[in-house]
Structure formats: C-alpha cells, structure tokens
C-alpha cells in the first residue's frame, strides 16, 4: 500500500510517500480501505516530536473508509460496511487495521468524509464539557482554539446545552465565522489578553468550564480566569510549549479543578466513550451537529497538509484523500 511515512521526527518536510507492507489483521481487528483521513493536531505533534513505533513510521489517529476484511472474533462489522476508526498511528495510508473496539459503523445519512472528522474532535469536546467538566445550562464555557476541530465541536455542544459560550481564535474574521455555530463572544488572542477579556466579559465571574487544547503558558492563564468552583480541562499542547512549572496554588482558595484528559484512555477502559461517539455520529448524520471541512489534500501532499494546519489558517478539519 501507499503511505505517507517518515524515518525521523521533525517538520512537515520529513514526510515521504512510499510503498509499505499492507497491515495484517489480528482476530479482533478490522481492515479498511481508507477513503478520508482527518489530520488531527496530535498527528502534527507526533510528527514533530513523538516516538516512532517503527521506521518507516505511519502517523495518524483517525480515518474512515470501507471494510475489506475482519478478524475471526469481530461480530459488528462485515465486508463492505463503511467504518470510521481511531488508533495510535497508521491513518496516513491507503489501508488501516485497528481493533473493533476503536471502530464505528458510519450512519447511512453521513458521508465518509464527515464521519472521518467525528470521533476525536466530538468525543473529546463532549467528554471535556460534560463527563469531566460537568457543564450546566447558564454556566459560562471558554473554548480555546475555537476554529479547530475540537473547538467547533465544543462550541456547538456547549451552546445547545444552554451555556454562554466564549472562544478564542487568532483573528476577528474567524471569530465572526464562529457565531453561526453558537459562539456568544469571541476573543482575539493575538491582540487581546484573553484572561483579562474573560474577566471583563463575565463581570469578574470568570469561566465555569475551560477547554484548553493549547497548554503551556496558555494553560496557566486559563487558571487565572477560572470561576469559583470552575473546572479547567487540558487535553493538548497545540502551543508547542511544555506545562512544566504550572502554578496551581491560586486554585485552592476558589475550590477549582484542573483535569487532564485523553480520549484514547477512555476508549480503552470505558465502553461509555465508544457509545458516546456512536451517539455523536448519529447526531451529525441527523443534522443536529455540523462537521466543518476546510480543505482536502491528496495523500501524497501530507507535508503540505500538515504545514497548512501549523500555519493556523484552517477553519475546521483538514482531510487527506488517498
């Protein structure tokens, strides 16, 4: 099969498009012919500094396509089904094999491209807001990187739950575009101190729930605008900074909570997370939630796709098409 691979971590230029051996399925695996790959922020971080499971390494969490074969223990999928899959790596290729527990049938009314964008972004957003963030109607939610996949999902989910939704983005134009998805107030982090802006917009109350995908100094500032008994969820390092030295001493007097979140762990240990994503796929198929696809690149332009994401120009998801 053809795959976008690299032999060492680094910038997008490390990608090579090569023929590599087809994946071999085990008794609990599903093999799909990949038709759409959603490039996740974690994919770019893995390419930049992650561990290589093998050399050449095929990066990538999430993709969707048509089932070609299943292992002898697989009961929920058959040849010809459409499926969306997640996994630790392997999405940037023409074929992908992963465990049945990390696969979902694509609803009839949902396109394969849209389905490819749902599990990681919507599953992360839903869990951060509700399972761990315990967001309630009339509370205030702050969503960082509002134009990202998780950001757009979280804005929609928080808005329909009756929360007041604030979000950050790098330009006024992108913030204005977010209003149709449920944004109440936008904060241009490139020109404004977002922590001060949150305090001002909320009359000093702060945000009850903060969804922070940036990490580093951004996470520290998030804690500065957290409300009394507020909950801050951190799940990424899109800012390319480490969070070493995080000062949490100011959280105790206000009974605040900081929670680290990783969707992969929930999928491995809790059936609940798999069921949540199945529900979200059906909600997108029914039009109650929207997937936003910004741009499509052919698989042999994986380097260009990653560079485009890292330029912070994307509004929504970026796809690779084998």
Asked if pLDDT for residue 234 goes beyond 90, the answer is yes
What is the tens place of the pLDDT at every residue in 121-148?
Answer: 999 999 999 999 999 999 999 999 999 9
Residue in 291, 274, 263 with CA at minimum distance from that of residue 116 = 291
Give the model's pLDDT for residue 270: 80
Peptide bond into 56 cis (omega under 30): yes
What is the tens place of the pLDDT at every residue in 246-301?
Answer: 899 999 999 999 999 999 999 999 889 999 999 999 999 999 999 999 999 999 99
Instruction: Tell me which CATH homologous superfamily contains domain 2-117+291-321.
Output: Medium-chain alcohol dehydrogenases, catalytic domain (3.90.180.10)
CATH 3.90.180.10 in the chain, residue ranges: 2-117+291-321
- Cα 237 from Cα 220, distance rounded (Å): 12
What is the tens place of the pLDDT at every residue in 159-187?
Answer: 999 999 999 999 999 999 999 999 999 99
What is the tens place of the pLDDT at every residue in 19-60?
Answer: 999 999 999 999 999 999 999 999 999 999 998 988 999 999
99: phi then psi, degrees, rounded to nearest 5:
-65, 145
Give the model's pLDDT for residue 240: 65
Query: By the 8 A CB rule, do 248 and 220 touch?
Result: no
Which structure tokens are listed for 40? Answer: 């996740």
Give the model's pLDDT for residue 242: 65
Which structure tokens are listed for 220? Answer: 């520290």
Give the model's pLDDT for residue 271: 87
pLDDT > 70: what percent of the chain? 98
pLDDT band at residue 244 using 50, 70 and 90 as cut-offs = low
CATH 3.40.50.720 in the chain, residue ranges: 121-262
DSSP bridge pairs for 257 = 231
What is the tens place of the pLDDT at every residue in 82-115?
Answer: 999 999 999 999 999 999 999 999 999 999 999 9
Give the model's pLDDT for residue 254: 97
What's the whole-number average pLDDT of the chain? 96
Give the model's pLDDT for residue 167: 98
Mean pLDDT of 208-232: 96
Asked if pLDDT for residue 61 goes beyond 90, the answer is yes
pTM here is 0.96
- Which CATH code is given to the segment(s) 121-262? 3.40.50.720
- Cα 42 from Cα 152, distance rounded (Å): 17
Q: Kindly state the helix (H) or strand (E) to which residue 186 belongs, with its residue range.
A: strand 185-188
């Amino acid at each position: 099969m053809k795959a976008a691979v690299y032999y060492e971590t680094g910038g997008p230029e490390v990608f090579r498009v090569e023929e590599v051996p087809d994946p071999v399925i085990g008794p609990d695996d599903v093999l799909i012919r990949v038709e759409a790959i959603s490039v996740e922020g974690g994919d770019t971080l893995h390419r930049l500094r992650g561990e290589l499971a093998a050399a050449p390494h095929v990066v990538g969490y999430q993709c969707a396509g048509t089932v070609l074969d299943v292992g002898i223990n697989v009961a929920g999928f058959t040849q010809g089904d459409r499926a969306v899959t997640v996994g630790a790596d392997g999405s940037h290729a023409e074929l992908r094999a992963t465990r049945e527990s990390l696969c979902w049938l694509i609803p009839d009314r949902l396109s394969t491209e849209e389905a490819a964008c749902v599990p990681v972004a919507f599953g992360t957003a839903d869990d951060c807001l509700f399972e761990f963030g315990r967001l309630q109607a009339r509370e205030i939610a702050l969503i960082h990187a509002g134009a990202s996949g998780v950001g757009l999902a979280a804005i929609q989910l928080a808005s329909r739950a009756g929360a007041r939704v604030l979000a950050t983005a790098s330009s006024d134009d992108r913030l204005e575009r977010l209003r149709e998805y449920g944004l109440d107030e936008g904060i241009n982090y490139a020109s404004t101190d977002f922590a001060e802006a949150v305090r001002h917009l909320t009359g000093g109350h702060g945000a009850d729930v903060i969804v922070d995908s940036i990490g580093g100094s951004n996470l520290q500032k998030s804690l500065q605008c957290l409300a009394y008994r507020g909950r801050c969820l951190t799940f990424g390092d899109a800012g390319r900074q480490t969070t070493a030295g995080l000062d949490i001493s100011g959280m105790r007097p206000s009974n605040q909570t900081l929670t680290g979140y990783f969707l992969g762990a929930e999928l491995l240990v809790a059936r609940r997370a798999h069921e949540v994503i199945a529900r979200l796929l059906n909600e997108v198929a029914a039009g109650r939630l929207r997937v936003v696809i910004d741009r499509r690149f052919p698989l042999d332009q994986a380097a260009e796709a990653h560079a485009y994401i890292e330029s912070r120009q994307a509004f929504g998801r970026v796809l690779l098409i084998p």
